[in-house]
């Protein structure tokens, strides 16, 4: 696995256009993070996370009990392991990514096999990262939770015909 460690002297380096040199390195580090996570290499995926990182996954915790708000690298590691226990990751591929200074956003196409039912789940996830000194200190995740819940349950959710 390629390691993308940011030398201390890069943290404040600016290009002649005023952008940090970190941007390109950050993109590579995030691609490595996603590859490691997809392959179940949780310890490798956590390399760029700060010990005090905050994760907020905006998902229904009744269906995905391991998601929600987590504090600290150990809690995020447990969340990642729980997700891998529930699903086999067939692919987890960033289809779009943007980085700027110490922030990043990615749209990820996830193809998963639910281990209990063998059902294939496909969804898009939007991830947002904030870094300080080259370490991920905040990670927010959004998914089309309505679609994800229907796929996990294996049925459409009935909606009222008469909206209020």
Instruction: State the CATH number of the domain containing residue 61.
Output: 3.10.450.50
Q: Is residue 24 part of a domain?
A: yes
Total number of domains constituting the chain: 1
* 57, burial (CB in 10 Å: exposed 0-12, middle 13-18, buried 19+): buried
Structural domain of residue 49, as residue ranges? Answer: 14-153
Better pLDDT: 146 or 111 = 111
Lowest mean pLDDT among 47-51, 85-89, 158-162: 158-162
Q: Is residue 159 part of a domain?
A: no
Q: Is residue 129 part of a domain?
A: yes
* SS3 per residue for 11-60: CCCECCCCCECHHHHHHHHHHHHHHHHHCCCHHHHCCCEEEEEEEEEECC
Q: Which pTM does this prediction carry?
A: 0.75
Q: Is residue 109 part of a domain?
A: yes
Q: pLDDT (tens digit, 9 = 90+) per residue, 117-129? A: 898 888 899 999 9
Strand partners, 130: 103, 138
Q: Is residue 8 part of a domain?
A: no
Q: Is residue 163 part of a domain?
A: no
Please measure the distance between the N-terminal and C-terminal CA atoms of the chain and give it in whole angstroms. 53
Q: Cα separation of 107 and 88, whole Å?
A: 20
Strand partners, 109: 93, 124
Q: Cα separation of 50 and 17, whole Å?
A: 29
């Amino acid at each position: 696995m390629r390691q993308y460690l940011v030398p201390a002297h890069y943290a404040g380096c600016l290009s002649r256009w005023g952008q940090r040199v970190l941007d390109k390195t950050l993109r590579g580090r995030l691609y490595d993070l996603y590859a490691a996570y997809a392959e179940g290499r949780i310890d490798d995926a956590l390399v760029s996370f700060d010990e005090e990182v905050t994760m907020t996954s905006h998902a229904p915790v009744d269906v995905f009990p391991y998601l929600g708000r987590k504090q600290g690298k150990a809690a995020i590691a447990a969340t990642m392991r729980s997700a891998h226990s529930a699903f086999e990751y067939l692919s987890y591929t960033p289809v779009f990514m943007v980085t700027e200074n110490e922030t990043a956003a990615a749209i990820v196409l996830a193809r998963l096999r639910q281990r209990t039912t063998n059902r294939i789940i496909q969804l898009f996830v939007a991830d947002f990262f904030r870094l300080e000194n080259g370490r991920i200190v905040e990670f927010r995740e959004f998914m089309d939770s309505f679609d994800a819940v229907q796929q996990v349950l294996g049925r459409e959710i009935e909606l009222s015909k008469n909206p209020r």
